[in-house]
Amino acid sequence: MRIVQLANLYSPVSGGLRTAVNALGRGYVAAGHERVLIVPGAVESRVETDTDGLVITVPGVPVGAGYRMITNTGQVLRLLDELAPNSVEVSDKLTLTRVGRWARRAGVRSVLLSHERLDAILAPRVPDWVPLERVADLWNRRLVGSFDAIVVTSAFAREEFERIGAPSLFRVPLGVDLETFRPRGDTGSHHETRLVYVGRLSAEKHPDLVLGAVRVLTRRGLAVRLDVLGDGPARERLERETSDLPVVFHGHVGDRAEVAEKIGAADIALAPCPVESFGLSVLEALACGTPVVAAARGAAPELLTPGAGLAVPPTDEGLADGVETVLTWPAEDRRRRARARAEEFPWSATVDRMLAVHAGAPVPAGVG
């Protein structure tokens, strides 16, 4: 089977989207299928490797912070005519949705992989008077009408499509690289509680809550240190506002092994975003044996099991209370439970389920 993946906003700083697209693509190649990836870049290029298949970069328009978007969809459709895929997988809900209609005309199976929940990510960006749910429903009906299958990664992400009665809706949780993200042999001894946040420093991710929690914990007399792994438009402001706190900003860390090392060295990972459609950084923390305190809204709580983490109100005090609660759990036990939960999500299971969706075959049951 020749599968063509297409994605916008795919760049070295893309985080979860890039990780997921790459892991799936490499899984397709390893399973014996042909994989082609089409993404935006500064210039047009083609690179083929044994592990990644063929990666085609087409010129994309910069949309800020290292991201690009394909606007010349005509060029993409001509590429698809040339590539003659058996199935297409689209990780975009804007300019690349025309691919679904192309696939229908060409008799090619089409799959939309939903990486975000529209009503949730739009909420902080539009005025209160906008009928957000109705707007999201109208757009999602358009998507459902364009693609043969819609794939979501969580029950939270599934809700907006269930609301409009979408047929051919599949829930396929993402996976985690259990080799790169694994417990450290020795976490060392330290007098302070080490916290870690991995994510984009932008409003929709709510990093302010993590820093607010550090301020609350410090005020309560708990010695803490927070490592922030990520960059974004809010970084300068956050650094300025927390200059008096024990916080270290590392910026974007591209080396996955280094990210895993820093997560594994922490006592607790914090996941404050209440609109995550899956929570890949949560799963990566669990794989490192690091329990997670996460917002009680969004998809992240679906990944937590007793002893592996805690879902709390998405407030400064809520996160701080969660940290203090998790610290009462035996350290060895909470690390063991965190790792055990992550081991239920190997990328191989995600790849198998996605290949079934591409083939139009029954999708194997999996964890949730």
What does the pLDDT profile of the chain (368 residues) look like in tens digits? 999 999 999 987 777 899 999 999 999 999 999 999 999 999 999 999 999 999 999 999 998 778 899 999 999 999 999 999 999 999 999 999 999 999 999 999 999 999 999 988 788 778 888 888 899 999 999 999 999 999 999 999 999 999 999 999 999 999 999 999 999 876 656 789 999 999 999 988 999 999 999 999 999 999 999 999 999 999 999 999 999 999 999 999 989 999 999 999 999 999 999 999 999 999 999 999 999 999 999 999 999 999 999 999 999 999 999 999 999 999 999 999 999 999 999 999 999 999 999 999 999 876 65
Confidence at residue 205, expressed as pLDDT on a 0 to 100 scale: 93
Helix axes 316-326, 207-219, angle to 10 degrees: 60
Confidence at residue 186, expressed as pLDDT on a 0 to 100 scale: 66
3-state class of 175 per DSSP?
coil
From residue 230, give the alpha-carbon distance in Å to each of 79, 144, 202, 234, 283.
34, 33, 10, 11, 17
Confidence at residue 368, expressed as pLDDT on a 0 to 100 scale: 55
Distance separating alpha carbons of residues 166 and 161, to the nearest angstrom: 5
From residue 164, give the alpha-carbon distance in Å to each of 147, 159, 249, 297.
15, 9, 42, 21
CB atoms within 10 A of CB 4: 26
Confidence at residue 11, expressed as pLDDT on a 0 to 100 scale: 82
Q: 296 near 273, Cβ under 8 Å?
A: no
Contacts with 354 (C-beta within 8 Å, 6 or more apart), sequence order: 24, 27, 28, 89, 111, 151, 172
Confidence at residue 190, expressed as pLDDT on a 0 to 100 scale: 75
Confidence at residue 128, expressed as pLDDT on a 0 to 100 scale: 83
At which residue do the structure tokens 């058996």 appear?
Answer: 86
Q: Name which of 297, 294, 293, 306 is nearest 341 in CA terms.
A: 306
Confidence at residue 14, expressed as pLDDT on a 0 to 100 scale: 73
Confidence at residue 365, expressed as pLDDT on a 0 to 100 scale: 75
Q: 289 near 310, Cβ under 8 Å?
A: no
Confidence at residue 188, expressed as pLDDT on a 0 to 100 scale: 59
CB atoms within 10 A of CB 296: 15
β-pairing verdict for 193-198 and 169-171: unpaired
Is the sign of the CA dihedral 143, 232, 120, 326 positive or negative?
A: positive
Distance separating alpha carbons of residues 278 and 153, to the nearest angstrom: 6
Confidence at residue 127, expressed as pLDDT on a 0 to 100 scale: 86
Phi and psi based region of residue 199 (left: phi greater than 0; alpha: psi -120 to 50; beta: remaining): left
Domains of the chain: 2-175+346-359 (3.40.50.2000), 193-342 (3.40.50.2000)
Confidence at residue 87, expressed as pLDDT on a 0 to 100 scale: 98
Confidence at residue 367, expressed as pLDDT on a 0 to 100 scale: 63
Distance separating alpha carbons of residues 206 and 312, to the nearest angstrom: 14
Distance separating alpha carbons of residues 232 and 237, to the nearest angstrom: 10
CA 220-223-225 angle, 5° bins:
120
At which residue do the structure tokens 């957000």 appear?
Answer: 132
Confidence at residue 204, expressed as pLDDT on a 0 to 100 scale: 87
